[in-house]
């Protein structure tokens, strides 16, 4: 049997099998089950990879050291704004002191250098 005859025989065999067995597309319910299973596996994989389960376990083990309470968002923002204002005010004062110190140091140096140049003439 040559290659052409083998190929033809194979095609005839496949065609006869195709007509005997009908292939059905999965039902919508089965597809939904597959999707839910894939979603659950993806969540499990993500939890494992991110360490969320470890964090939950750590929290449960050390729960007595944590406290959970409600916060007033506007109060938190007001506190943060106040802290930022204080930080900027402190920074501003530090820059003024630093600038004053630099100017006085360099003014004194200029005076000493200037006096030395005039005394040599």
- The pLDDT of residue 53: 80
- Measured N-to-C along each axis, helices 28-50 and 52-61 cross at an angle, to the nearest 10 degrees, of 60
Residues 41-92 have pLDDT tens digits of: 998 888 888 888 888 888 899 989 988 888 899 999 999 999 999 999 999 9
- The pLDDT of residue 19: 54
Residues 6+ apart with CB under 8 A from 42: none
Give the residue extent of every domain in the chain.
Answer: 72-121
CA distance 9 to 6: 5
């Amino acid at each position: 049997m040559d290659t052409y005859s083998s190929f033809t025989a194979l095609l005839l065999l496949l065609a006869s099998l195709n007509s005997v067995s009908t292939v059905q597309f999965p039902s919508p319910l089965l597809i939904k089950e597959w999707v839910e299973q894939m979603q659950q596996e993806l969540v499990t994989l993500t939890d494992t990879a991110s360490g969320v389960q470890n964090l939950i376990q750590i929290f449960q083990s050390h729960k007595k050291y944590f406290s959970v309470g409600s916060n007033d968002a506007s109060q938190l923002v007001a506190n943060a704004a106040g802290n930022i204002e204080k930080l900027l005010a402190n920074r501003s004062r530090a820059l003024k002191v630093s600038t004053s110190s630099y100017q006085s140091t360099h003014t004194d140096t200029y005076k000493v250098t200037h006096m030395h140049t005039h005394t040599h003439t």
